[in-house]
Amino acid sequence: MNKFESFDPLHAKQAATSDVATRSLKREISNILNSYVGWYDPFAELIQNSLDSIEERALQEKNSYAPSIWITVNIKDNFLIVTDNGVGLDEQKFKSFLAPDFSFKSGKTRGHKGVGATYLAYGFNFMQVCSKAEDFTAVGKMVDARKWLGDENPRNQ
């Protein structure tokens, strides 16, 4: 019988080859997308995140803050914009908030699965996120993420 060192099975993703890891990640993201079934899901996810952000800032600033959310729905050009004047994302959060099952939310916020941003990023072929926090400002966009997710060609992994 072969003996081996103890190991943590949760580290398997990091140890996998790039093709295996990418296919695993795509399956994980696909499962997340399949958990959303309503036409209203993009609206709900964006608005929930904005509400959480303005409520967090309201707690920090008390009376000196006027919370606002602006929503633009353009049916002709097929886009949705939700803007708020909440807390924004710091650099660490901005770099990680789209990762599957990675959430900064607590039990006192809306949403509970920790996958809403992943759904928004990979469920569509264009997403742009602008954030301004106290010490960090960023604009980032993802293009063709849904196409990448559905592409089974290993060369495009």
Contact indicator for 69, 84 with CB cutoff of 8 Å: yes
* Token pair for 5: 């060192």
Question: Does 156 have pLDDT greater than 90?
Answer: no
CA distances to 24, 42, 43, 72, 87 from 83, rounded to whole Å, are 33, 14, 12, 9, 12
How many CB atoms are closer than 10 A to CB 156?
9
79-84 and 69-74 strand pairing? antiparallel
Tens digits of residue pLDDT in 106-138: 667 676 667 889 999 999 999 999 999 989 999
Average pLDDT, the chain: 85
* Token pair for 107: 């039990």
Q: Give the C-alpha separation, 41 to 117, whole Å.
A: 11
* Token pair for 14: 């990091």
Tens digits of residue pLDDT in 20-54: 878 888 999 999 999 999 999 999 999 999 999 99
Fold of 18-151: Heat Shock Protein 90 (3.30.565)
* Token pair for 33: 């997308």
